A and B are shown apart, each in its own frame.
Chain A
Amino acid sequence: MLLEVDGLTKSYAGPEGPVEVLRGVDLALDAGRTLALTGDSGSGKSTLLHLIAGLDTAEAGRIRLDGAEVTALDDAGCAALRRGRVGIVFQQFNLIPSLDVAANIAFQARLAGRHEPERDARLAGALGLTPHLAKYPEQLSGGQQQRVAIARTLAARPKLVLADEPTGNLDETTSGAVLEEMLALVAETGAALLMVTHSEALAARMERRLHLSRGRLA
């Protein structure tokens, strides 16, 4: 089992006391499989994703990722986990504005210490980025920027790709194309994919789907 989540609980301080966002969430994902996580706004989808990536800490419960106890890791451990085994594709791309496209794609792989230039080139080619390698993020369209983010994630060969509304900032046509390219590439690399989305259409493209409601999975 690549990812196991048991009894995860998380709350935030709200105006009228603490608000429980996750109340005992259990989840499992095998290597190479895909899973969609749906739910209404504020249902805690993104929070769950952040917890799995070690970007945030839970009150109770545990997360095991590729044999590592994520919930027991310190800050540096979480950083190492993100560097080595997890790739994240955000809704707002999170590219480094001062680096050009080629440097952005290579970036995470270089951080993780396993950079392969041929792999970058292949990914860039598959995502149609080859003509844009020398450009800076601000010179790209939204769809192109998200393609760069996907290439960056996959260039680092993560075991688990976490995607948070990856096409949420894109128009419908672009969104469909980017998604297709991403799914194909994830399948090709053999990584597992956990995608948060509020779109039924997107969720339907995944092998499995779970719905998060009132802090519990169904």
Chain B
Amino acid sequence: MTRAALSALWSFWRRNPLQLFTLVAGLALATALWSGVQALNAEARSSYDAAAAVLGEGRYDQLVPRSGETIPQETWLTLRRAGWQAGPVLEGRLRAGETSVRIVGLDPLTMPGGAGPVTQAGDAPLATFLREGTLFAHPEVAGALTAALPRPVVADPGLAPGTAITDIGVAQEILNRPGALSRLVLAETQPLGRPPLAEIAPELVRQTSRQSADIGQLTDSFHLNLTAFGLLSFAVGLFIVHGAIGLAFEQRRPMVRTLRTLGLPLGRLIALMAAELAAIALVAGGIGVALGYALAASLLPNVAATLEGLYGAQVSGALSLRPAWWLSGLGIALLGTALAASGAFWRIARMPVLAGGGRRAVALPAGRRHGRQAALAVALMAATPLVLWVADGLVAGFVALGALLLGAALALPPLLDRALALGARWARGVRAEWFWADTRQQLPGLSLALMALLLAMAANVGVSTMVSSFRLTFTGFLDQRLTAELYVETESAAERAALRTLAAREARALLPVLTVETRLAGRRAQLRGLRVGPTYSENWTFLAREGAVWDRVAAGEAVIVNEQLARRADLWPGATLELAPGRSLPVAGVAGDYGNPLGQVIVGEALFRDLFPEETATRFGLRTETPQALRTALVEEAGLDPGQITDQSALKAFSLEVFDRTFTVTAALNVLTLAVAGFAMLMSLLTLAGMRVPQLAPAWALGVTRRTLGRLELLRAGVLAGLTAAAAAPLGLALAWMLLAVVNVEAFGWRLPMFLFPLDYARLGLLALAAALAAAAWPALRLARTPPSALLKVFANEA
């Protein structure tokens, strides 16, 4: 029985391959977009991590020499024998032919946490690393190294550009620095009872990992937003799937009735149809994951490492796929299909045996359904602010987002209907009137495709806004927080004196970094003292401010709080904060502080020293036009070690490069999402094409040429797409606003400011129009070439 029924069900797809194609392609594209965004996410993440991960920079504290370039290996040994868990690193430059390679030598046995570069260097067996003297090199320099050294070299795209990693012994040999180390990486957990550093190795300085850790939360927020857009892209694809399934089920109603009258139980029938759809979903999902792979591979430079992580392909050659990732792709395809098909199944389950023999007309007369749909849309959109008002949390944020999008999508057909009615009223001439009326009649058949277009457009507007706003905020934040060109870490009063002397002569300004952790407004928070000057007043922007913020702070009359604290303790300009018993000051400004988990209060330097007289600044920012010269002077004249000086331009440049890469991918995703929406439109138009002939025949008979009919079809698609694009722009902005201002606040406690990019939106609108016109081109051409006999048949049948 099952086989007979299955063959009957399957025969439908065999006889309607276009519908099967629509379904599979829609689902595959949806899954591919989702996978592509995941890949993008992973790529961005790995780019951030690549620099930091080399030698656990940013993750682990390090010991560096107080003066000079190297640490004697005996010092490391002394530290180990005293219990200090530290891994030795020797770093140096090696000339290999024309290029200079950064050689990093390390000891895999004592490197902290196993998160060091050995795991970075792929799955190098420890024995290979230790015994064969292998170098793991970035592909760009692997060739040069192979030519220059009589040693095995393995290319590894997971490494930072220009870098090669090898065993510490090998590094000492090829750099010709026996017994020398550059720095020691400290494990996060250290055993009890170690003697203090100053006692056993006073010549070393501990460098904390603080700076780079700060951007972690900021990037997490970025990834959360991208994930939301991944889901949205998937939703666009689901509209196609929903449309395809709905159409197929409508057309199969007579078959369902026949199968049941012939004795197939309803439960079995539904189970079989579900199994059939599940099989299709699995195939489409598989194609989608593979497409996502191709998408990622073609979009992202240096993607091998990412793909390795995502798809589990191993460098060793044996391709073993990571099941979890594939399963999640297939799972989301199945889930999406279930979602898209639930309505169709529900109708079949409730359908009496004898009902549903006749097909429900695919294109219902416009108007009647719109009332109910509009009411539902209004209810959903009204629910959006209600949800935000009543509930808190990330889930509420996403629920509200979902309600807004669904509501907007449902509102589209009634809105378009109104707009077209308006057009009809202003139309002059019989042909124009007929055009508007006919367009209106087409609306129900195209509404699903138009909803997909709406969501695709909105997603694109949203993603552009989000990514661009993020970039502006991020670079602005970097400018604001890393204002000084150089940062110097000092270890002694003598060094500080030397620094002051030199800075007075060579630098534009010397800015002490004064920070203590304390309790403020009833919670753990940082108090920061700033030497107020043009550095801050020119670079800082405030989310909220009152009066001359910097003057008031400099005079010790007011404080600045960071956004986190402002939100958590409700401290906005005008509120008062108690800094110490009996010492309260008003809040003058609120500043963004992206990525800081703690609240922060900023006061003037004088007030800070007053409150914490025992705190000495050990870290200083230096403003200068000539950072290189100043750096040299600091080392040569003030006797500082290069390890104590941080050049902030490197961090900035790296961050911006990551963004540029992200932008390329975002642009490509925009095109793809619109292509998917265009595909939905093409499929709808093709489905409608058969029904169009009887509708158009009278117009043809009355003297409209087939060419004109074809042109009008194209124009119709353009008008509908244009109207949809007009509706999508505000929706996309609302979407971006909710992600930046609602979801982000719920997830991280701070809000990303939103910037508008009208030119981008205009470009996106044109792109959407182009997609719609491209989709309409073929159906229009087919119409223009309909043989007159086919048109004549319409009248013959009617007779």
Chain A residues with Cβ under 8 A from B262's Cβ?
82-83, 88, 107-108, 111
Please measure, in the bound complex, the distance between the C-alpha atom of A103 and the C-alpha atom of B14, giving whole angstroms. Answer: 14
Chain A residues with Cβ under 8 A from B12's Cβ? 98
The distance from the CB of B249 to the nearest CB of chain A, in whole angstroms, is 14
Does B15 sit within 8 A of A, measured CB to CB? yes
Contact string, A106-128, partner B, CB cutoff 8 A, digits 1/0?
Answer: 11101111000000000000000
Contact A111 B261 (CB under 8 A): no
Report yes or no: A94 in contact with B261, Cβ–Cβ below 8 A.
yes
A96 touches B1 (CB 8 A): no
Residue A53, interface by CB 8 Å: yes
Residues in B neighbouring A111, C-beta threshold 8 A? 1, 4-5, 262-264
Task: Indicate whether B267 reaches chain A with its CB closer than 8 angstroms.
Answer: yes
Establish whether residues B263 and A94, one from each chain, have CB atoms under 8 Å apart when the complex forms: no
Interface positions, chain B 330-368, Cβ under 8 Å from A, are 353-354, 357
Shortest Cβ distance from residue A26 to the other chain B in the assembled complex, whole angstroms: 24
A-B contact count (CB 8 A): 80
Given contacts A55-B353, A111-B1, contact A82 B7 (CB under 8 A): no
Cα distance A119–B263 in the bound complex, in angstroms: 20
**Is B3 interfacial (CB-CB < 8 Å)?**
yes
Please choose the segment from A72-80, A191-199, A206-214 that sits at the chain B interface, where 4 or more of its residues have CB less than 8 A away.
Answer: A72-80
Which residue of chain A has the shortest Cβ distance to B358 in the bound complex?
Answer: A92
Whole-angstrom CA separation of A112 from B259 in the bound complex = 12
Chain A positions 59-111 with a Cβ under 8 Å from a chain B Cβ:
75-76, 79-84, 86, 88, 90, 92, 94-99, 103, 106-108, 110-111
Interface code B244-279, partner A: CB below 8 Å = 1, 0 otherwise?
000000000011011111111111100000000000
Contact B354 A56 (CB under 8 A): yes
Indicate if the CB atoms of A98 and B14 lie closer than 8 Å: yes
B11 within 8 A of A: yes
With A94-B257, A96-B8 already in contact, the answer to whether A113 and B354 are too (CB < 8 A) is no
* A100 to chain B: closest residue by CB: B11
Q: How far is the CA of A84 from the CA of B263 in the complex (A)?
A: 8
Question: With a CB–CB cut-off of 8 A, which chain A residues contact B254?
Answer: 94, 97
A50 interface contact, C-beta 8 A: yes
Q: Quick one: closest B residue to A95, CB to CB?
A: B258
**Smallest CB–CB gap between B511 and chain A, Å?**
78
Give B261 Cβ to nearest chain A Cβ, in Å: 6
Residues of B within 8 A of A136 (CB): 15
How far is the CB of B226 from the nearest CB of chain A, in Å? 43
- A108 to chain B minimum Cβ distance, whole angstroms, is 5
Query: How far does the alpha carbon of A94 sit from the alpha carbon of B16 in the complex, in Å?
Result: 19
Docked complex Cα distance between A149 and B354 (Å) = 17
Closest chain A residue to B353, Cβ basis: A55
A90 to B354, CA, bound (A): 12
Does the CB pair A82–B5 fall under 8 Å?
no
Interface pair A80/B263, CB less than 8 Å apart: yes
C-alpha spacing A56/B260, complex, angstroms: 12
Q: How far is the CA of A110 from the CA of B1 in the complex (A)?
A: 6
Which of B8, B15, B257, B266 meets A107, CB within 8 Å? B8
Q: What is the bound-complex CA distance between A80 and B264, given in angstroms?
A: 7
- Chain B residues numbered 305-351 whose CB sits less than 8 Å from any CB in chain A: none
Whether the pair B4, A110 counts as a contact (CB closer than 8 A) is yes
Identify the closest chain B residue to A56 (Cβ). B354
Output the least CB separation between B14 and chain A (Å): 7
Closest A residue to B12 using CB positions: A98
Beyond A79-B264, A97-B254, whether A55 also contacts B8 by CB under 8 A is no
Q: How far is the CA of A198 from the CA of B212 in the complex (A)?
A: 90
Q: How far is the CA of A75 from the CA of B12 in the complex (A)?
A: 25
Tell me, in angstroms, the Cα distance from A55 to B258 when the chains sit together: 11
Compute how far the CA of A82 lies from the CA of B11 in the bound complex, rounded to whole angstroms: 23
Contacting residues, chain B, for A88 (C-beta < 8 A): 261-262
Sort A-B residue pairs by CB-CB distance and give the 10 closest, nearest first. Answer: A83-B263, A82-B263, A110-B4, A98-B11, A79-B265, A98-B15, A94-B258, A76-B265, A98-B12, A99-B11
| 18 A-B pairs with C-beta separation under 8 A | A55-B354, A75-B265, A76-B265, A79-B260, A82-B263, A94-B258, A97-B255, A98-B8, A98-B15, A103-B11, A106-B4, A107-B4, A107-B262, A108-B262, A108-B263, A110-B1, A110-B4, A111-B264
